[in-house]
């Protein structure tokens, strides 16, 4: 297990690789079902201070709570399907080669992109993280197909070796409040990452990437985990939740208790 030679080469040269069919369809379907259940429960008044939902501002008038959701952060600590997929032994074996024997999953976000939702402009995740040592590894799992019309990811191969670029605030009305855009870098080498459900992209935290708007009648959904060594220095933010997944090369057993959190 671990990385094979083509994955290793793509990781080093291009800053990403794709594993086709890494997760079963049943797993990604369960992810979508569970997120819908959670947001409906929160909408009905259940307290889940351990989770962090963010709204899709462009779809604020939609009647169903799940259709108004853009992202649900911090789901992997307590929610079974997310914890088990984030700690899948095949995944941890790959991550151990990239990161080392001690790893936390520090960010887990489920992303809905409903018809009409906006994409996220060109950015590097390290613009937000500012963490050392590099890399932090992103794992983007397609829960639905990602097609040219429904807002797939686009990447600039090789850009993972670049510095953190300056970025400006996304000027579009209704853009996600945290969205920023790199405007000073050449994107002519961009490649689209088309996915089937269960396909999984491993990507470096400096890789320039974006997603486009959903101009299709169909929902696009993805689950994204980010991993780093527990000793990582850098910015901490409230959408992060540092969960131990590997210590001395051994998987850490499931964590089910939410941290006690009071949002002020």
Ligand X SMILES: O=C(O)CCC(=O)C(=O)O
Residue numbers of the site for ligand X (CB under 6 A)?
111, 113, 119-120, 125, 153, 209, 211, 222, 224
Nearer to ligand X, 11 or 225 (CB): 225
Nearer to ligand X, 98 or 155 (CB): 155
Q: How many CA atoms lie within 13 A of 139 on its CB side?
A: 24
Find the shortest distance in angstroms from Cβ 122 to ligand X: 9
Find the shortest distance in angstroms from Cβ 26 to ligand X: 22
Write down how long the chain is: 264
- Which helix (H) or strand (E) segment holds residue 70: the answer is strand 69-73
Nearer to ligand X, 102 or 121 (CB): 121
Find the shortest distance in angstroms from Cβ 152 to ligand X: 8
- Which helix (H) or strand (E) segment holds residue 104: the answer is strand 103-113
Cα(31)–Cα(151) distance, integer angstroms: 19
CA separation (Å) from 37 to 46, 65, 96, 229, 236?
Answer: 11, 10, 33, 32, 28
Find the shortest distance in angstroms from Cβ 146 to ligand X: 8
Find the shortest distance in angstroms from Cβ 113 to ligand X: 6
Show the tokens assigned to 114.
Answer: 């409903």
Find the shortest distance in angstroms from Cβ 80 to ligand X: 22
Find the shortest distance in angstroms from Cβ 226 to ligand X: 8
Nearer to ligand X, 102 or 155 (CB): 155
Using Cβ positions, the residue closest to ligand X within the complex turns out to be 211
Find the shortest distance in angstroms from Cβ 46 to ligand X: 26
On the question of a cis peptide bond just before residue 133, with omega within 30 degrees of 0, the verdict is yes
Nearer to ligand X, 59 or 102 (CB): 59
Beta-bridge partners for 243: 105
Nearer to ligand X, 102 or 159 (CB): 159
Show the tokens assigned to 190.
Answer: 């961009």
DSSP state string for 203-247: EETT--EEE----SSS-EEEEEEEEE-TT-BS---TT---EEEEE
Name the CA radius of gyration of the chain, rounded: 17
Show the tokens assigned to 150.
Answer: 């429904």
Q: Are strands 220-228 and 168-169 parallel, antiparallel or unpaired?
A: unpaired
Nearer to ligand X, 239 or 251 (CB): 239
- Tokens 């101009």: give the residue: 215
Nearer to ligand X, 102 or 125 (CB): 125
Residue 151 — left, alpha, or beta (φ > 0 → left; ψ -120 to 50 → alpha)?
Answer: left
């Amino acid at each position: 297990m671990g990385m094979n030679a083509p994955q290793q080469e793509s990781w080093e040269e291009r800053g990403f690789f794709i594993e086709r069919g890494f997760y079963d369809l049943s797993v990604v379907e369960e992810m979508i079902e569970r997120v819908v259940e959670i947001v409906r429960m929160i909408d009905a008044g259940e307290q889940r201070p351990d989770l962090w939902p963010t709204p899709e501002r462009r779809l604020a008038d939609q009647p169903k709570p799940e259709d108004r959701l853009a992202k649900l952060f911090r789901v992997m600590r307590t929610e079974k399907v997310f914890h088990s997929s984030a700690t899948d032994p095949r995944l941890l074996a790959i991550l151990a080669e990239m990161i080392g024997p001690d790893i936390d999953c520090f960010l887990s976000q489920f992303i809905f992109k409903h018809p009409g939702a906006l994409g996220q402009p060109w950015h590097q995740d390290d613009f937000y993280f500012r963490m050392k040592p590099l890399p932090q590894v992103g794992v983007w799992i397609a829960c639905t197909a990602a097609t040219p019309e429904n807002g797939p990811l686009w990447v600039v191969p090789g850009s993972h070796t670049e510095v953190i670029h300056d970025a400006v605030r996304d000027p579009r009305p209704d853009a996600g409040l945290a969205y920023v855009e790199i405007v000073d870098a050449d994107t002519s080498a961009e490649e689209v990452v088309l996915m089937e459900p269960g396909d999984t992209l491993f990507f470096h935290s400096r890789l320039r990437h974006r997603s486009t708007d959903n101009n299709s009648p169909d929902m696009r959904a993805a689950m994204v985990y980010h991993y780093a060594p527990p000793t990582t220095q850098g910015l901490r933010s409230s959408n992060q939740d540092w969960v131990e997944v590997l210590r001395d090369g051994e998987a850490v057993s499931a964590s089910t208790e939410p941290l006690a959190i009071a949002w002020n």
